[in-house]
Amino acid sequence: MKRYFHFLRIIFVTAIITGVLYGQDGRWQKYSNKEFGYTIKYLAGWKITEAKPRKDNKAAYGGEILLPGELQKISFSDTSDRYWQATLAIRVLELPKGKTFAQWMKEYEASDTTDFNPVEQVIDTIVSGRPAKKATLFNFDHTGQELILKHKNGVMLFSYEGQNPNDRRNEWHMEIFRKMIKSYEQKN
C-alpha cells in the first residue's frame, strides 16, 4: 500500500511539473468571429493578436498589421517559452478581382514561394467537414504548414509550424495545433 501511494505521488508531481514546463493548465477557450463566421478553440494563456490596418509607414511586426489582400488575421501564440513562441495564424484573403478560388489555388500550387516560403507539397484534406488543401512549406530550417479553404470572402489560410528543430516542444505544439484545427467551425 505504501508503494502504491508513493507511485501516485510520483504521477501527481510529474503532472504538475509537466504543466509548469509547458506553461499550460489544459483549459480551452473559444474565439468567435461573427464577421467572418467562424469559431476556434485555443489554450487559455496563449496570446491572441488580431491584426489591424496599418496606420503609418513605420516598421511593424507582420502579425500585428493587415498586409495587402488580407481582410482578417489573428494569431494564437504560446509565449511561455522565451526562446520559441509557436504560433497558429488564421488569415482571410480576398480573391484578386476576376479570379476564382480554383484559379487562385492553381497559382498557389505552382508558385515557387508563398510568403517567401517555397511550397514543397500540396495535398487534399478535410477541415470541419469541408474540402481543403494542406501545403507543406520550407521555412529555412524547418517546415511550415498551411491549410487552405474556400471562404465566402475569398480564401482562408491556417498557418502553423510543422517539424521544427528550434522548438523544444515541437511535438506538443503540433498536437495543440491539430486540436485547434479540429475545433474549428465555419458558421456560414
* Residue 160, phi-psi category: left (phi > 0), alpha (psi -120 to 50), beta (remainder): beta
Side chain identity, residue 103 = Q
C-alpha dihedral sign at 101, 106, 109, 111: negative
DSSP E strand boundaries for 34-182: 38-43, 47-50, 52-53, 65-66, 70-77, 87-94, 119-127, 130-139, 142-151, 154-161
C-alpha 47/C-alpha 44 separation (Å) is 9
Q: Which residues of 95-110 are buried (b: 16+ CB within 10 A; e: fewer)?
A: beeeeeeeebbeebee
Tell me the CB-side half-sphere exposure of residue 106, using CA atoms within 13 A. Answer: 5
Going residue by residue through the chain, which has 188 residues, state the pLDDT in tens, using 9 for 90 and above. Answer: 666 544 445 444 344 434 444 444 579 999 999 999 999 999 999 999 999 998 888 777 778 999 999 999 999 999 988 778 899 999 999 999 999 999 999 888 876 554 556 788 899 999 999 999 999 888 777 888 999 999 999 999 999 987 888 888 989 999 999 999 999 999 86
CATH code of 26-186, in short, is 3.40.1000.10
3-state secondary structure of 131: strand
Neighbour tally for 42: CB within 10 Å: 21
Is the pTM higher than 0.85? no
The values of phi and psi at residue 7, to 5°, are -60, -45
